[in-house]
Amino acid sequence: MIKIYKVRYIDTLGQEVAEFGFYESRADAMRRWLEVQHLVKMPGQMDIREISVVPDSKKSLNNSASNIYEFKENERKED
């Protein structure tokens, strides 16, 4: 499973009010977080959200429908 990182700004009510991009590595997300942290002047906090991305089923080695279904079921059991 692939992980990406979303840099966002959360207001005092806990709502996402701005996003500043998606990054492949947490280090890049932190770099962006530091760049924009001082620019936002409203109350709230910066946040980095980790998102798990399920690979496209067409990229699996065997493209039969049963194998794709089994692949997705196996991933659910791991969570």
> Which tens digits make up the pLDDT trace of 14-29?
999 999 999 999 999 9
How is the beta sheet containing 16-23 ordered, strand by strand?
16-23, 2-11, 44-53
pLDDT at 61: 58
Does residue 5 carry a pLDDT above 90? yes
- The tens digit of pLDDT for each residue in 44-73 reads 999 999 999 888 777 665 555 555 556 555
Between CA 21 and CA 24, with CA 22 as vertex, the angle to 5 degrees is 140
pLDDT at 60: 61
Choose between 73 and 4: higher pLDDT: 4
Q: How confident is the model at residue 12 (pLDDT cuts 50, 70, 90)?
A: very high
Give the start-to-end residue ranges of the domains of the chain: 2-78
The CA dihedral of 53, 55, 56, 62, to the nearest 10 degrees, is -160
